[in-house]
Amino acid sequence: MRTDRHPYTSALSEYDEAIRLNPDSAEAYFNRGLARALLDQDPSAIADYDEALRLNPNFAEAYFHRACLKDYLALRKSLVSDRNAALRSAISDFDEVLRIAPNFPYLSDTYYRRGNAKYNLDQYEAAIDDYNKALRYDPGASAIISERQEAEDILNFYEEAIVEFDEHIRQNPDDVKTYKIRGETKGFLGRMQEAKADFQKILEFTTDKNIIAEIERHLQELNNPDYWQQYSWRTGH
């Protein structure tokens, strides 16, 4: 008799039974989570990975697969803050993989995927570092080389702009607008102390109440990375 059931659907019932018989089996929860993830990236797999990790906090493979699913689901979220929170959570899980299992069999993939999550948070320097680490384990991986090149190109674009701002400020040391743009660019790149210095310099120069209010808001949000993504040139903002 013909059936259209996905092969992982029948596996789920088997894992349900395994969990019923042995509710303290981290492996059983992990296997069910993996089956759910393979079945259309089902978000409920995360709950199974959570339970597997509660039962076995050193289950590196559960951290890895939970991170992969979080990363995948993050890019489907409509709110930037929700997406970024999910990406950071995925990065945290990849961190745990590397902490628990320095000889993890998928080290290249772990660094590569963590690099991609950082890239999607516009953390280009950190992403490049992860891509370099991934390439140590898989030197010829074309996808990793391509992603690293793209991250380097974007970072170079910002770096070149900062050099131009530096020169403009050298010639025009009281130019509030250039200090502001340079500070926002550095804030976007995560260079918060440098951004703070530019913003504080502006407050020494200007009496414009609108600019002062904007700069004070920048300083209040200095450590909020979500705030600085509005200054991404890559996304046209």
In a domain, 192, yes or no: yes
Range of the domain at 191: 172-231
How far, in Å, CA of 167 to CA of 122, rounded?
Answer: 25
Left if phi > 0, otherwise alpha if psi is -120 to 50, otherwise beta: which for 224?
beta
CA angle 77, 13, 43 (to 5 degrees): 5
In a domain, 237, yes or no: no
In a domain, 134, yes or no: yes
Q: Is the pLDDT of residue 234 over 80?
A: no
pLDDT of residue 100: 97
100 lies in the same domain as 14: yes
184 lies in the same domain as 220: yes
In the predicted model, what is the mean pLDDT of residues 26-48? 89
What are the tens digits of pLDDT across the range 181-202? 999 999 999 999 999 999 999 9
Does the pTM surpass 0.75? The reply is yes
In a domain, 48, yes or no: yes
**Residue 186 tokens, joined:** 């550095």
16 lies in the same domain as 44: yes
pLDDT range class, residue 236, cuts 50, 70, 90: very low
CA angle 105, 109, 112 (to 5 degrees): 145
pLDDT range class, residue 115, cuts 50, 70, 90: very high
Q: What is the percent of the chain with per-residue pLDDT over 90, rounded to a whole number?
A: 78
How far, in Å, CA of 120 to CA of 136, rounded?
Answer: 22
Name residue, tokens 């992990």: 30
In the predicted model, what is the mean pLDDT of residues 170-174? 94
What are the tens digits of pLDDT across the range 142-157? 999 999 999 999 999 9
pLDDT of residue 81: 87
